[in-house]
Amino acid sequence: MTIPTPHIEAKSPDEIANTVLMPGDPLRAKFIAETYLDDVRQFNQVRGMLGFTGFYKGKRVSVMGSGMGIPSSSIYFHELFAFYEVGTIIRIGTSGAMQPYIALRDLVIATASNTDSNINSGLFGPYTFCPTPDFELLMQAYNRAKEMGIRVHAGTVCCSDLFYRELDPRVTERLQQYGALAAEMESAGLYMIARKLGKRALAMFTVSDSLVTKEAESPQARQEAYRQMMELALEIAPA
């Protein structure tokens, strides 16, 4: 495939930075660009999936929406890595807590991604492949979060193909028993594609609701809490 791709209209890899931050919502990408970046230039608006490149404290960074779920986000992950020479993607999203000690607004960093998706079906014979992030990036994020005073948890997450999924309660309880921290919908796709193409990836999530306590943040409160994660991602983004 040549560029521009069917989903990204940037005409050259030079329009996109080496590191791309990716929230699901393109309006959040716009908010990050307008709030944190200097000398901003828009490189994409195809299908309303906004993408911008600018400078954060002198460091060139891009930010782009990904849409929701593995099928949507994987299109952008693949095209950015494979055709635009992006080296690192940091997924910044929201999640539902699966452990009682994880509170609303806490940060969860995915050390590995359990998934019900068929993205790796048949690829590894009898093995169930478990996609993981870049370890150095993971450690940088965890340590920097501590320095910034963010309540942070690192562990496995559950990445589902369906938002409205009715699981057997025994399955959920087993996942919780085995230490799954949160539920979300994109990390497995990101980690699989990054591993396949030899790129760097990290997924981290602000907790917006709890599957344990049934609490949930208001949209305004989510936005305020989300800013901590945005700032952390910008701080650790490789140049």
Q: Quick one: tokens of 90?
A: 């940091």
β-pairing verdict for 38-44 and 51-56: antiparallel
Give the Cα separation of 161 and 92 in Å (integer).
Answer: 18
Biggest CA–CA distance in the chain, Å, is 51
Q: Is 67 left (phi over 0), alpha (psi -120 to 50) or beta?
A: left
Q: Quick one: tokens of 150?
A: 């963010």
25 is catalytic: no
Give the Cα separation of 45 and 22 in Å (integer).
Answer: 14
Give the Cα separation of 87 and 208 in Å (integer).
Answer: 29
Side chain identity, residue 7? H
Q: How many CB atoms lie within 10 A of CB 168?
A: 8
| Beta pairing partners, 51 | 44, 64
Burial class of residue 81 (count of CB atoms within 10 Å of its CB; 0-12, 13-18, 19+): buried
Catalytic positions are 209
